[in-house]
Structure 1
Amino acid sequence: MSYAHTEIAQIAAISSNRCIGKNNELPWHVSADLQHFKKMTTKANADSIQGIVVMGRKTFESMGSKPLPKRVSFIISSQTDYAEKNDLQDRDDAHVVHNLDDALTQAASLAHGAHLDTIWVIGGERVFSDAFMYTDRIELTHVDTEITDGDAFYPELPSEFEVSEESERMHDEKTELGFRFVTYRKTAE
């Protein structure tokens, strides 16, 4: 199910035990993964908007409570005064919404106007899980490590998602971690 010909894609880096976060931070710093995330979620565009990302409040706060450069952020929060408390009202690059449907509907409208063909769901755990029913593609960086004390996890992939592309295993010099990029696509029912 897509929103007006706009692809909904998820992107995350996960450990072998599906950990995506620890103390509201990434549990590792793999430079190539951060570059991959930036490349995937931004697209050179004549318009000033180069990408659209949808995330939960904790994910937004894990990034320093600042919208990502060149991208428009849709932040899902149940707090009715979240935009005011965080000085996000009247900004073009950040919108606070109160549920995933509103985020995707508004993001799709913006994507259409900005000629962007993908809306990126970037976390956290509950947003990923709730978004599966709308998701067409998932980009996961599989990091070869187990995080025993993590507190945020990527949900189990629904069975209708299958691997469509997979990179070679790579190695991060600084962390000594191995990783690979894997693309999953929803199969036709």
Structure 2
Amino acid sequence: MSYAHTQVAQIAAISNERCIGKENQLPWHISGDLQHFKALTTAETNEYADSGFNGIVIMGRKTFESMGSKPLPKRVNFVVTTQLDYAEQHGLSDREDVHVVHNLDDALTHAANLAHGLKFDTIWIIGGEKVFKNALMFTDRIELTLVDTSIENGEAFYPEIPSDFEKVAESAPVTDEKSGLSYRFVTYQKKA
């Protein structure tokens, strides 16, 4: 289900048991995966280049805080939280690059309107566990980095991929030089 001709895509890096977080952080540091994430979430170009934005991301409050409560550059960041005074408390009220919303529907609606205005093709869902799970019904595409490792005491997990998605692309495995971890990129598309 596309939101007004804009694709909703999820992007995550997951372990063998689908772990995406531990102690509100990524359980690994893989520069190739971070570059992949940045390349995909800032891939948009438009005639309004002076907007300074090349992508739209939606995330939950914990994901935002795991990034030091700083918005991702060159992207419009939507932060979903039930805390009504979150924007005021964190000095985010009058920023163009951060919009605090109180449910996923509002985030998707505002992001779709913005994407339409900027002529962007994709809205990115970037975490965490609850936001991924709740956004699956609206999602057209899933971009996963499969990290070949097991995380003990993982605290956040990516949901099971629904049967109405099919694997459409998979990269060869790559080994991260610093961590020694092997990973590959996999794309799932919702069946028509």
**1:21 alignment counterpart:** 21
* Within-5 A mapping of 1:169-188: 169-188=173-192
**1:48 alignment counterpart:** 52
* Offset of residue 44 of structure 1: 5.1
* Offset of residue 165 of structure 1: 0.3
Query: Residues 125-167 of structure 1: CA distance to partner in whole angstroms, max 9, x if unpaired?
Result: 0100000110000000000000011101001111111100000
- Structure 1 CA distance, aligned partners of 2:29 and 2:165? 27
Matched position secondary structure for 2:126:
strand
Structure 1 stretches lacking a partner, 5+ long: none
Percent identity between the two aligned chains: 68
**1:120 alignment counterpart:** 124
Match for 1:31: what amino acid? Answer: S
**TM-score, structure 2 as length reference:** 0.96
In 2 relative to 1, CA 137–44 (structure 1 residues): closer, same or farther, beyond 3 Å?
A: closer
Query: Which residue, out of 81, 87, 94, partners 1:90?
Result: 94
In 2 relative to 1, CA 44–162 (structure 1 residues): closer, same or farther, beyond 3 Å?
A: closer
Matched position secondary structure for 1:55:
strand
How many residues are matched? 188
**1:140 alignment counterpart:** 144
In 2 relative to 1, CA 160–44 (structure 1 residues): closer, same or farther, beyond 3 Å?
A: closer
In 2 relative to 1, CA 149–78 (structure 1 residues): closer, same or farther, beyond 3 Å?
A: same
RMSD: 0.7
The question of 1:154 aligning with 2:158 is answered yes
- Structure 2 CA distance, aligned partners of 1:19 and 1:132? 17
Aligned partners of 2:44 and 2:121 also within 8 Å: no
**TM-score, structure 1 as length reference:** 0.98
* Offset of residue 49 of structure 1: 1.3
Query: Residues 43-80 of structure 1: CA distance to partner in whole angstroms, max 9, x if unpaired?
Result: 25324111000000000000000100000000000000
